[in-house]
Amino acid sequence: MQNGQMTNYIMPTSADLPPIRVYFEELGNVHGAFGAKGIGELPMDGPAPAIVNAIADALGTPFDSIPLLPEDIFQTMESCSQSPEAPLTQGVR
């Protein structure tokens, strides 16, 4: 197992809490009665790509994989600064 101890399974603590604003975008579900859709335990596929896109936008450098660690960002930025023509698709750990 890659991270078999809680000390290496790094999940956010309350001290890592960013401001979270919740908006409900209400589009009816065609399959549900009166447009109803279950709201509990949805797959959370959206946040990771959104965050990676935000980092890419902020740095002007494409990233396309997760986990995207500071070390990966650093390595990519170093490569880009050394060789502007080098392939930009990095960040795989």
Partner 1 sequence: MRADPVDYELLAPGNLPDVLSLLAHEPETWLPIAGGTDLMVLYASGRLSQKKLVSLWNLPELRFIDVADDEIRIGAGCTYTDIRNHPTIVHEFSLLTTAARWTGSIANQNRGTLGGNIVNASPAADSLPALLIYEADLILVSARGERRVLYTTFHTGYKSSVLAPDELIRAICLPRHFANHISYSRKVGARNAQAISKVCLAALGKLDRDTVTDVRIAIGSVAPVPLRLRSTEDALKGKAIDSHAIATARSNAIAEIQPIDDIRSTAAYRAAVAGNLVVEFLNALRESITRP
Partner 2 sequence: MSDPRGPREISLTVNGQGKTLRAYPMERLLDVLRQHLKLTGSKEGCGEGECGACAVIVDGALVNSCLVPVLQVQNSTIVTIEGMAQSSRLSPLQKSFLDCGGAQCGICTPGMILAAHHLLSRVPRPSPEEIREALAGNLCRCTGYAQICEGVANAANREVLG
Residues annotated as part of the active site: 41
Site for partner 2 in 18-77 (CB under 8 A): 20
Q: Is 13 in the site for partner 2 (CB under 8 A)?
A: yes
Give the up-direction half-sphere exposure of residue 59: CA atoms within 13 A in the CB hemisphere.
18
Quick one: 90 exposed, middle or buried, by C-beta within 10 A (0-12, 13-18, 19+)? buried
CB nearer to partner 2: pick between 16 and 85: 16
CA-nearest of 65, 67, 54 to 89 is: 65
| One of 70, 81, 84, 87 touching partner 1 (CB under 8 A) | 70
Per CB under 8 A, residues contacting partner 1 are 5, 7-8, 10-16, 70-71, 74-75, 78
